Structure 1
Amino acid sequence: MYEPIHTASSRRSVHATMADTPSDFPHRSREEELDIQLAGHLAALLAVTDELRATAPSADLDAAATRLAQQVARLRGGRTQVRSDLVAPAPAAPQPAALHDRAHALAGRALLVAASRADTAVAILAAQRMDAHAAGQAEQRELSAAG
């Protein structure tokens, strides 16, 4: 019926062997993973901000884009985000309300990650962008209701 195994566990020996050899893939710390995730959210927010700047230019959006680009570069170790100086709206550009919705959601994600990694500068920037896009959403609703 059942015969006990008298040799050392093959599973145990495999793990011991694997633990003794360096892995073939790089491991990142939690902090590095959060930096990568935060940089991604901020880069996406920067792209939406650039789209908004193309549809409705403003000094606030210009300043926000500059600050976002600086934070992305800092998180990426000095590598700057590739951006176009001339942002032209696409033929089927989304409505400003949809862009504000997307930007608000991205800023919220960035805020959560920034809070998780205790990055006060990015958390403040993300919260400010959330407020600005919430105001933009409200303004677009008022315009659509009046029009």
Structure 2
Amino acid sequence: MYEPIRTKSVHTTMARATSDFPHRSREEELDIQLAGHLAALLAVTDELRTLTPSTDLDTAAERLATQVARLRGGRPPLRATATSAAAPTVLHRRAHALAGRALVVAASRADTAAAILAAERMDAHAAAEELSAAH
């Protein structure tokens, strides 16, 4: 009823050829993802620091930069000057979301230091957003 396959499967030849290029482990992929979320959080934190300078934000920025450098094998993150015209409330909301994403990845990676930092930043940005909304 069915005709037998007469040629080699493309999938098997492709599967064998995949060893020609490097693959990353799940751990490496999570490191890259976590470093990306923390770097994005650092960028928003830097924007907030220009709009509303505080020692809390300065300390958070340094801690974030340290974690990103650790995850990237010692390479420090690029720091850009803030150019956003967004309101502090919007930036706090964005930072809260980014910290939440970082927390999820840090938890799945079992990275306690990054998870604690992300949770602290979530709390700080939620409190700042509530304070901004109250005024």
Q: TM-score, normalised by structure 1?
A: 0.83
Partner of 2:30: 34
Aligned residues: 135
Partner of 1:139: 131
C-alpha distance in 1, partners of 2:62/2:93? 20
Alignment equivalent of 2:66, drawn from 59, 70, 94: 70
Letter in 1 for 2:98: L
Q: 1:61 to 1:3 in 2, by over 3 A?
A: closer
Letter in 2 for 1:10: K
Q: Tell which structure's C-alpha radius of gyration is larger.
A: 1
Deviations 1:46-65 (A, max 9, x none): 00000000000000000000
Q: Are 1:60 and 2:56 matched, yes or no?
A: yes
Gaps of 5+ in 1: none
Partner SS, residue 10 of structure 1? coil
Q: Work out the percentage of aligned pairs sharing the same amino acid.
A: 67
Q: Are 1:95 and 2:87 matched, yes or no?
A: yes
Per the TM alignment, residue 71 of structure 1 is displaced from its structure 2 partner at its CA by 0.2
Letter in 2 for 1:74: R
C-alpha distance in 2, partners of 1:3/1:96? 66
Per the TM alignment, residue 93 of structure 1 is displaced from its structure 2 partner at its CA by 1.2
Q: TM-score, normalised by structure 2?
A: 0.90
Q: RMSD over aligned Cα, in angstroms? A: 2.0
Per the TM alignment, residue 117 of structure 1 is displaced from its structure 2 partner at its CA by 0.4
C-alpha distance in 1, partners of 2:77/2:2? 63
